[in-house]
Amino acid sequence: MKSFIKIAFLALSGVVSATAFAQNAPAGQAAAADKSASTCGADCSSMCHWNMPHFKDWYTDVYGMYSTAHKFHGWGVGVRFGKLFNREDTLEVDHKGHAFEFELAWIYECAYASKSQNKVAGTTSTSASSGYVSEKREVEVDMFPLMFNYRYHGSMAGWSECKWLERMRWSLGAGLGFNIFHYDDSVCQEDWEPVSKGGKIQGSRSKSTSNTSIKLAAQLFGDIRYACTERVEIFTGLRGFFTDDHKFGDNSLTPLKVGKVHGIWDFGVNWMWQGLVGPS
């Protein structure tokens, strides 16, 4: 911290000294100093342009989603970082070509189940002399996919004479990766006395389990994009996300299962990084 303060103080002193010198210098010397500073600034700008990382054809997607898998439903958010290759520059906002992406997302899904069963086999009325058992189960699932995608971007320009189609493109792709899978499974059972005797609860018991594992994952996807500006797009699409299934309470009254296929509808914003560090 002391070193940082010292450096800042020296830098501030240099700025003050330079300002005082410029104010006291003759007009000719001030003009020469301005010319020298301008030349130096241009050289530095050129050096920074060549030495800084170039973000041409890189893009970022930020999106939200709705997810469903059998009885499980939920939502999520995600981000993708991609780069276009062999891009065709036919239009100002046309970014066609092959792309590779890294994607990170969080998907939350949950499901509920409840069921009652008589304690005496073969009876169907809750007024049976032995009463009945009710069970409720709640399962929450968190998934964190880490995916590597291939995507092809195509343009809709030329499909018809509509001008707005010139700003639209489509994409199709597939991805492979890993899915960090975490679940919380809560189940509660209650014993009830027969309705003929008042139908009051006699006792209850509950149990909660959780676990985290890493599973292989794959996905197929497609979307449609509209270019609002040269760098900003909005998009919406559908995706099939494939990972291992998991069963909860398989031998209980309320079994639940997360399927292998998750249907996902996503929507978001794309940012093209081209040109942010100067002309190509």
Instruction: Name the burial class of residue 82, with classes exposed (0-12), middle (13-18) and buried (19+) by CB atoms within 10 angstroms of its CB.
Output: buried
Higher pLDDT, 229 or 165: 229
Q: What is the mean pLDDT of residues 199-205?
A: 69
Report yes or no on 136 lying in a domain: yes
Beta strands 261-272 and 232-243 are antiparallel
Highest mean pLDDT among 129-133, 180-184, 272-276: 180-184
User: Is 280 within the bounds of a domain?
Assistant: no
pLDDT range class, residue 201, cuts 50, 70, 90: low
The pLDDT score that the predictor gives to residue 2 is 43
Residues 47 and 99 placed together within one structural domain of the fold: no
**What is the domain count for the chain?**
2
Residue 186 lies in a domain: yes
The pLDDT of residue 8: 45
Among 47-56, 131-140, 212-221, 222-231, which is the least confidently predicted range?
47-56
User: pTM for this one?
Assistant: 0.70
Residues 250 and 134 in one domain: yes
Encoded tokens for 3: 């070193």
Domain endpoint, select from 27, 52, 77: 52
Q: Are residues 162 and 128 in the same domain?
A: yes
Q: Are residues 91 and 184 in the same domain?
A: yes
Q: Give the mean pLDDT of 225-242.
A: 92
Picking from 225, 269, 277, the residue whose alpha carbon sits closest to that of residue 95 is: 225
Q: Give me the domain span that covers residue 95.
A: 57-272
Residues 37 and 150 in one domain: no
Per-residue pLDDT, averaged over 230-257, amounts to: 91
Asked if residue 158 and residue 83 are part of one domain, the reply reads yes
Q: Is residue 277 part of a domain?
A: no
Phi-psi region of 164 (alpha: psi -120 to 50; beta: other; left: phi over 0): alpha
Q: Interior CA angle at 95 toward 50 and 79, to 5°?
A: 85
48 plus 61 within the same structural domain = no
Distance of CA 117 to the CA centre of its chain: 42
